[in-house]
Structure 1
Amino acid sequence: MKIRRILATAVAAAVTTPALMLSVTPAFADDKPASQTQEKPSIAELEKAAAAAQAAYDDAVAAESAAYAAVEVALSDTTPLAVAAAAAKAAADEAATAKTDADQAVVDAQAEVDALTDEATEEERTAKETALTEAKTAAATADAAKATADAKLVEASDARDDERVAAVRALDQAKKATETALAEKTAADEALAKAKEEAAEEGEDDEDCVPEPELTTVITGLPSTVVAGTKVNFNLRVTNGTEKAMDEVFPFAYVHATDESGLNDIDDLVHLQWSSGSSSKWQNVDNENYMDPISSLKGGAHVDVKMRLTIDASAPAGNGVTFVAGDYWNDNGSCGGSPDLEGYEFLIAAAGSKPGSVGDAKPSTTKPNTSGLKPQSGASASPVSGSLAATGSSSATSQLALASGAALAIGAGAVFVVRRRKAGSHV
């Protein structure tokens, strides 16, 4: 399935830009594309990197946990700096009370001096004034003591707060470090998983899937001209021309279309669907997956898959091509498929056009001789009526497509547009 999807994309590119694709076609003869010739890390290296990333992440999580604990300690009242700040606060409160009392003593002493009468003796006056002077001195001393205590409180509080801020900042940095470590761990895990998946696919690709030209796919009933805004029904006949039964046969179809210039694809305006003979429900062909497999196609037999092509009314006049192929997978592990993607070309006429009587679309490659082959159930054109199973993620599908010819598929797409342009039909 993966290779068929790659081929479908390559065909679309070839149909859209044939000159470019033809100029680079020789690159497909190389073992690997240029972009893949760079040395890749081995799975062992990626496993080592993933383990290191895991260890770094574990360390970051532990560091974040420790940072949380440090914040809890710093915010408590039992740290040395918190105890010192509390003591400084108590001393500052005591100094403030002492200053208040000293200031009040000055007020009281001043009141007593002010209350002296002319009858007061010199000794009484001297005593009151001395008391006032001593009260003022004590108040000044208390004021200085309060200033000193306040300064120590500010210093102690700042030290405690700085410790708490530093702990919170350390926690924030630890959280960010954990996020970074998690992202690196995730990237390392994904790189390792991808490498293992690619290795598994390469291993699957080494299976004995072979080209099978006797497994043919032929379209009948697809008009050579389809008017935008209409839908047409046609058949895809899948034929097992060999003498042996195929346990599962996977039909594949892909449709691509461009405007008249051949440079602008209009794939989103062209829709391909299929239906089995046992169901009237139409299922979309998404250009990425095989249709449901045909179970047990006997040697010399064929089945017909009902197909439907719909072109949106907004589609401009242009060109289209429907590619088909077939692959098989047997219970014993043997597999293979059509060596070509056979393309059936058709014109797209603007909505409202009256093309009149038109013939059927013709294949762009040599049509194999299937005369004398009988249908699956003895009928001349029997629809798919065998057991159908959902394709899902069958490991078979990535192996099946190995039988297809990438160069032939791309060449078919390129020749399709080149021939159209050479004929001057839509340029």
Structure 2
Amino acid sequence: MKIRRILATAVAAAVTTPVLLLSVTPAFADEKPAAQTQEKPSVAELEKAAAAAKAAYDDAVAAEDAAYAAWEALLLDTTPLAVAAKAAEAVAADAATAKTAADQAVVEAQAVVDALTETSTDAEKADAEKALTEAKTAATDADEAKTAADEALAAALDARDDERVAAGRAYHLAKQATETALAARTAADEALAKAKEEAAEDGEDGEDDGDDDGEECVPEPKLTTVVTGLPSTVVAGTKVDFKLRVSNGTDKTMDEVFPFVYVHATDRSGLNDIDDLVRLQWSSGSSKTWKTVDNEHYMDAISPLKAGAHADVRMRLAIDASAPAGNGITFVAGDYFNDNGSCGGNPDLEGYEFMIAAAGSKPGTVPDAKPGKTKPNTSDLTPQSGGSAGPSSGTLAATGSSDATSQLALASGAALAIGAGAVFVVRRRKAGSHA
């Protein structure tokens, strides 16, 4: 019962609205993230979370309506920049008309000069030449005035259109925020309903009824996950191999350890995710078969992983050739589950950022992607069973991911990976896209 109640909170945290996600983000830098230290979320706390999600959704709806109204208003011809653009169009049109007239005057003056004969008087010749010179000067002035008017018109149109595009972009983002907020509200409501159901089963507002039906999942920072060999730039249409090392830095054997990996990618704008064009696969050290990471982002269990030991999992990142240039990040974590019912996981997420280069690009030699936080010290860990060739150094279960994985989310950083992906996008938007 306790584990399922923890999971309900984990799900709510994983899909919380951007406002709540950003409030959680600083916790990743702490040694004991606040989101991970709450071991017994109450129904009252979940009710507060559901209320916050509803308020965030209501705010998002209001923000979307305001953004749409602002965008619609800027499409009118009565805005200051639209009026300025209209005036610039009129000036440019007058300048074009003036230039046409000046050019015609030159043609006519030239015709007069060309019509002079030997019988023409010196005064007639002087007058004709003077008229031609004046016409040419006027034509030059008219041409310069038209150029200036055209440049002013282009600048006015750019300013008007940029304002409209910015408003349209703001509306698009507001619309996306509303969709995210609605999903978060739905998840929070479902989590609350589930917690109430569990509380009813446990009795007395969900407090422990005395039955020892399972241990609480707890944070375990000494269960570490480290990626090596993942390039910092990956070309669309290619596959790259790298390694995930899972290390047990505790003094106790972990009966089953579930490696967690989650990849998130966007185009350069950061507005459009391209997760469906990015795929993660894994393979045990003894197998040549590549398996796709399941939809819960877990791999088969390493069973067991002894105290002070580590196991390696071969990984492969494949990016579809149709993927646009953009940015990606791979999150890794680890959870454990023991036969006696105890469970837990790493409270931190390691995020390895990489750029996606368009298909056909030749980035040359690139450095490996680096983790987003301090790399854990695993120097005192030794390969289990005297080897480090792969998960077989801690037997990788061949029966598939255990149902226990769904019970472990809050104990590790895994439950917050989706949220962290959203924060990554926000930060990318602020920092700007890679060239």
TM-score range, shorter chain: 0.5 to 0.7
Verify the 8 A CA contact 1:253 1:287 in the aligned structure 2.
no
Is 2:337 the counterpart of 1:329? yes
**Separation (CA, whole Å) in 2 of partners of 1:230 and 1:368:** 30
1:306 maps to which of 314, 337, 346: 314
Corresponding position of 2:397: 388
Corresponding position of 1:317: 325
**Cα-to-partner distance string for 1:319-357 (whole Å, 9 max, x where unaligned):** 111111111111122211110222111111110111111
CA change 1:250–1:20 in 2 (3 A) is closer
Is 2:261 the counterpart of 1:226? no
Matches within 5 A, 1:332-347: 332-347=340-355
Corresponding position of 2:22: 22
CA change 1:214–1:257 in 2 (3 A) is same
Runs of 5+ in structure 2 lacking a partner? 27-33, 39-43, 53-192
CA change 1:425–1:7 in 2 (3 A) is farther
TM-score, normalising length: structure 2: 0.53
1:379 maps to which of 387, 392, 410: 387
**Separation (CA, whole Å) in 2 of partners of 1:285 and 1:4:** 21
**Cα-to-partner distance string for 1:141-171 (whole Å, 9 max, x where unaligned):** xxxxxxxxxxxxxxxxxxxxxxxxxxxxxxx
Matches within 5 A, 1:45-194: none
Verify the 8 A CA contact 2:312 2:390 in the aligned structure 1.
yes
Shift of 1:227: 0.4
**Separation (CA, whole Å) in 2 of partners of 1:230 and 1:325:** 25
Matches within 5 A, 1:212-223: 212-223=220-231
**Separation (CA, whole Å) in 2 of partners of 1:244 and 1:234:** 28
Is 2:274 the counterpart of 1:274? no
Matched residue count? 270
Q: What secondary structure is seen at the aligned counterpart in 1 of 2:261?
A: strand
1:262 maps to which of 256, 265, 270: 270
Corresponding position of 1:134: none
**Cα-to-partner distance string for 1:97-132 (whole Å, 9 max, x where unaligned):** xxxxxxxxxxxxxxxxxxxxxxxxxxxxxxxxxxxx
- Who wins on radius of gyration, i.e. which is larger? 1
**Separation (CA, whole Å) in 1 of partners of 2:367 and 2:8:** 30
Corresponding position of 2:428: 420
CA change 1:4–1:249 in 2 (3 A) is farther
TM-score, normalising length: structure 1: 0.54
- Aligned-partner residue type, residue 354 of structure 1: K
2:45 maps to which of 6, 19, 31: 31
Corresponding position of 1:98: none
**Separation (CA, whole Å) in 2 of partners of 1:342 and 1:371:** 18
Q: What secondary structure is seen at the aligned counterpart in 2 of 1:425?
A: coil
Shift of 1:281: 1.2
1:358 maps to which of 366, 382, 398: 366
2:246 maps to which of 238, 241, 246: 238
Shift of 1:21: 4.0
Corresponding position of 1:182: none
- Aligned-partner residue type, residue 31 of structure 1: E
**Separation (CA, whole Å) in 2 of partners of 1:6 and 1:246:** 25
Shift of 1:373: 1.2
Shift of 1:279: 1.6
**Cα-to-partner distance string for 1:288-347 (whole Å, 9 max, x where unaligned):** 152111111111110001111100000001111111111111112221111022211111
Q: What secondary structure is seen at the aligned counterpart in 2 of 1:384?
A: helix
* Percent of residue pairs identical: 71
Shift of 1:248: 0.8
Shift of 1:389: 4.3
- Aligned-partner residue type, residue 316 of structure 1: P
Shift of 1:369: 0.6
Shift of 1:282: 1.1
CA change 1:215–1:5 in 2 (3 A) is farther
**Separation (CA, whole Å) in 2 of partners of 1:6 and 1:321:** 25
CA change 1:4–1:301 in 2 (3 A) is farther
**Separation (CA, whole Å) in 1 of partners of 2:316 and 2:8:** 20
